[in-house]
Structure 1
């Protein structure tokens, strides 16, 4: 789960999607917090698989590797006779190191060496990024930004690091530290470089924007001047998959009036800023303020959204029902006539498969299975959905509504599986990932921090009333089946207190303590209990409802968690699906939940928002139904039948 430091007020911990090694539907990068950067480097042929078929996103990056990433990302082509004593011509990254050195982006040590195999420190990486900024001629100005540990940064590097922070290329930890001597992973390095490329593209497309004018903070206007020249808004026509220029205008308003048919768009600095139909894709990680819930949502890069409208500076979008506005610079508008691909759903042998489209490489990048396919989905046909609930065909015609059981099952449910069965599944799954041969899962059956957790998970289920299988699915998803560095070294299965590229690195005494922290400090008060800071329904859900609204920027995080639950069920015999809970969603905000089937007593709590999933245990109470309380409360609770909708879950 991407948790950028600018989103710390939104998100509580990192979501890392783990590769299913023997699952053809996803790879190790699907949903990884640095997925966009990693896939960018792969597309540039800068990042290659190792002998085990892994991109090693969580391994520490070396100086030679980072130099290669920069050389490939910037398409460096000129090299002179610069040499380093420890970089022979036969060295695997020799050419790229020479290219980066020729561009002035890297330098060696005073003894003539480069130390290509040494792990690169954060401060050295920041300096290389700023040299790349200079190479790209990106205006940078000066900055007074400091970090709490500024004194530990080498004095010659402090200004570069401050500029890098101001440009948004580098970020500190949640407590204001930069950690200059810490090393970065391959994934983190990819994000740094990806930010650099996004910044360069932004400068190229909009050279007069205030953020590109030496960062002086002056307000700007896209319809104003361009170094003294009148800015032009060009109306173009979509013809046979290309854009053909029709007419130029001095203002956006004039260009908008000239949009006489659906095939016309408005461009500014070669960027489409207005269209009639199509969809919007985020260029980077953004915060979208939802007018529906009056709150911000973190949204990952390459997220597809519905296009509603736009002007010269912002775009009105809808994401899983949430309406809000984003800056033109943060998104790409893709008219229907120029669409090369789009994420879609299919029925694969009775299971629902979601195939994701990567808009950076313009390729279908990954896919995953997360449950049974709804009955209306026919094999061989593609379906589309903005929220993972309502599905259409390619023409936009409605085909059906489907709630995946594991995705929309409230957390207060109990699993049918015993501690022994959970342990049995854990060992079975660890044997599967170990047999994949991936280096990350070497000796997983003996080293994984998930081993023997069955009794702990069931104890939490009894005492905290949170589904044991749900917590296991979270742990598998976030910790690489208990094999991630945070799990192995810090007993941290859930990435708690891990922000952006810098973790707080809090060490837990045991994985049991880590689970209790997740339950008591995060899920229980913030995501499940009504009125909690991030409560949008006590289900993993999607961006439409549930934990996923605030918990993760990946819009499909909830579906991927559901996939872990589904695979466990599949391995153990579908006990939970065979004896399902009846689930409903509330249809109005301000709905009171009562201690009995009447209005005679004060409510236990109130659902301030609509669309809150609940578990119905008895619907035969003369206009009332009995539910399992979302608030920690052992007795039944009651709500009026008039304000709920029973949903047919797919299982």
Structure 2
């Protein structure tokens, strides 16, 4: 009995040592690898307990549930008359499904059903997420990420997967995406949490967009990796001792294009105070994090939050930007006049004296040629011609420009300002070419690309979807007041001269829309329908009309432009998309005899914010619209009368439009 008493006593003591009362707030989600995302959905009333009192984090998520998560998290409100035959009004997620469908995030199946109770695959979820990205105006750029099992992803789903991965919304496990695997409620919660973090929802509790809730698969990175790569905040900056191997930062000096020396510091601030020469830089793990002068190159696609226009701008990888300054966590940059901040992990800092090559402009036989540098291979990779060279540009010299407008050679002895006519010609301009002339140009261009022997262009003169488009383009120009040659130039660039898969198989020159059952594969009845859709649903309401449609801030000037102004600010992550479109227009003009350039429009830029465009040449006339920003291009159709210019209205409007001469500066274009 005595031994039994002693054993009982020991067991009691051991129990007291190892037993700890459970915290009152602990539940089935506490410690779960997707806990933060799950609690986010709970906070949005998107995730509730079932009849057994469980949130079911490890159960497969259904199509209806995921649609509901998105609708509630995105605060969707507008509904249309979209109806699915298998989603009655009594269905628990009926309202949210209708909201998501009205926003274009879900579309259902060809037979009119939605299959709300079916488990959703990871690749199918990626399609819905990409539509949500578009709805939220999150810049997505041109994705480059692929997975080891990329071949297992349905071909037309791959772009959506790549976009989600590049933005850090979706991940995989051990380099694989597992596209056909069903996603769990926990994984879905993490996806939505990352999406809304990128969208700037303060309720996510993660304003920096980090991925704090683990990988996509159960387990994975449960301690919260950083979607922008590595520890961008400089790790333990307070550790380390000066001049020891544990130092976090070091000052090095540039000598003959290389870095020498290794004076260590435990903090960035200490290293910054010790800088004494312009030739010195601060490095962290051999990566330059501060320099006196140089430029910045994006390592991958990034979303730059421009303080200049208070909007996010998509920027492709391999893009050069002006370096302004940097601290331990971020780099201040200027892209074509747009000032913003990027994390060190997203960019590479290059002092001018260490540059191995930079993109440059040159005068080649009287034409301006842009030669691009690839920082991944450290080689010049491609080039294109997009207009006449400005008069100040000397043959044999390399010129550099941050915005494609102001140019200077290496030593600053030759410089000037030049606006390319086709790049900064407002969309309301009318081309002087007839439908027949456009058709003749198209056939000659197709014969040219066909003669290159490139497989993509085989039989282009017989198969291209651009053949015979002249009348359609001129009809669009007459109806919508959008330059026919501009639309053709965009079509040539986006569809590989009408020979891309989407153009050939789907009558889709522009890759418009994504569908559940046919992602990225909306088939248009005709090329004319596709062009009208581009004009009526995208260019007209969002990119040309000042102010854009409600909730969209795409109208930065009615020109293809650059990252400084125009469609290119928001339309494409490629900073030279506008110049490349201009190149197509220029080459067509060159082939057809420069009829447009020889009888050019006068173009001006507005010089103030809040400028009213009025129905008459007086402030007593009512405004047609207002330019919120300065620097907006306008076509001036008559000389100043009583201090007013008559202009072409960027808003679709057939009457006269006037603007005060005092707030418009005429620019000299190169054509």
TM-score by length of 1: 0.70
Displacement of 1:381: 0.5
Aligned match of 2:353 in 320, 337, 340? 337
Residue 370 of structure 1: aligned partner: 386
Aligned match of 1:285 in 298, 301, 307? 301
Displacement of 1:517: 0.4
Aligned match of 1:401 in 404, 412, 417? 417
Residue 357 of structure 1: aligned partner: 373
Deviations 1:481-512 (A, max 9, x none): 1110011111110122269xx95321111111
Displacement of 1:214: 14
More displaced stretch, 396-405 vs 551-560 = 396-405
Displacement of 1:632: 0.4
For the residues of structure 2 that align with 1:419 and 1:213, how far apart are their CA atoms? Answer: 50
Displacement of 1:245: 2.1
Residue 180 of structure 2: aligned partner: 153
For the residues of structure 1 that align with 2:354 and 2:234, how far apart are their CA atoms? Answer: 30
For the residues of structure 2 that align with 1:505 and 1:406, how far apart are their CA atoms? Answer: 31
Matched ranges for 1:137-176 at <5 A: 153-154=180-181
Residue 462 of structure 2: aligned partner: 446
Describe the SS at the equivalent of 1:211.
Answer: coil
Residue 16 of structure 2: aligned partner: none
Q: Which has the higher contact order (CA 8 A, sep 6+)?
A: 1
Q: Structure 1 residue 416 and structure 2 residue 542: aligned?
A: no
For the residues of structure 1 that align with 2:228 and 2:586, how far apart are their CA atoms? Answer: 51
Residue 151 of structure 2: aligned partner: 120
For the residues of structure 1 that align with 2:459 and 2:391, how far apart are their CA atoms? Answer: 41
Aligned match of 1:211 in 225, 229, 238? 225
Matched ranges for 1:228-247 at <5 A: 232-247=248-263
Aligned match of 1:321 in 337, 359, 377? 337
- Determine if contact 2:393/2:414 at 8 Å carries over to the other structure: no
For the residues of structure 2 that align with 1:298 and 1:261, how far apart are their CA atoms? Answer: 35
Gaps of 5+ in 2: 1-126, 159-169, 196-220
- Determine if contact 2:156/2:521 at 8 Å carries over to the other structure: no
Displacement of 1:12: 9.8
Describe the SS at the equivalent of 1:422.
Answer: helix
For the residues of structure 1 that align with 2:156 and 2:451, how far apart are their CA atoms? Answer: 36
Residue 651 of structure 2: aligned partner: 631
Residues 486/255 of structure 1: CA separation in 2 closer, same or farther (3 Å cut): same
Residue 25 of structure 1: aligned partner: none
Deviations 1:91-123 (A, max 9, x none): xxxxxxxxxxxxxx89xxxxxxxxxxxx92128
Q: Structure 1 residue 463 and structure 2 residue 490: aligned?
A: no
Deviations 1:529-569 (A, max 9, x none): 01113000000000010000000000000000000000100
Displacement of 1:7: 5.8
For the residues of structure 1 that align with 2:325 and 2:488, how far apart are their CA atoms? Answer: 42
Displacement of 1:165: 8.0
Residues 634/212 of structure 1: CA separation in 2 closer, same or farther (3 Å cut): closer
For the residues of structure 2 that align with 1:313 and 1:595, how far apart are their CA atoms? Answer: 51
Q: Structure 1 residue 223 and structure 2 residue 237: aligned?
A: yes
Describe the SS at the equivalent of 1:477.
Answer: helix
Displacement of 1:446: 1.1
User: How large is the RMSD of aligned CA atoms in angstroms?
Assistant: 3.8
Residue 114 of structure 2: aligned partner: none
Gaps of 5+ in 1: 16-32, 38-65, 71-104, 107-118, 128-139, 171-206
For the residues of structure 1 that align with 2:136 and 2:563, how far apart are their CA atoms? Answer: 13
- Determine if contact 1:13/1:498 at 8 Å carries over to the other structure: no
Residues 629/222 of structure 1: CA separation in 2 closer, same or farther (3 Å cut): farther
Displacement of 1:621: 0.3
For the residues of structure 2 that align with 1:444 and 1:632, how far apart are their CA atoms? Answer: 35
Residues 160/215 of structure 1: CA separation in 2 closer, same or farther (3 Å cut): farther
Aligned residues: 494
Residues 277/7 of structure 1: CA separation in 2 closer, same or farther (3 Å cut): farther
Residue 621 of structure 1: aligned partner: 641
Residue 495 of structure 1: aligned partner: 511
Larger gyration radius, structure 1 or structure 2: 2
- Determine if contact 2:156/2:520 at 8 Å carries over to the other structure: no
For the residues of structure 1 that align with 2:403 and 2:527, how far apart are their CA atoms? Answer: 34
TM-score by length of 2: 0.68
Q: Structure 1 residue 547 and structure 2 residue 567: aligned?
A: yes
Displacement of 1:167: 14
- Determine if contact 1:210/1:220 at 8 Å carries over to the other structure: no
Residue 382 of structure 1: aligned partner: 398
- Determine if contact 2:399/2:410 at 8 Å carries over to the other structure: yes
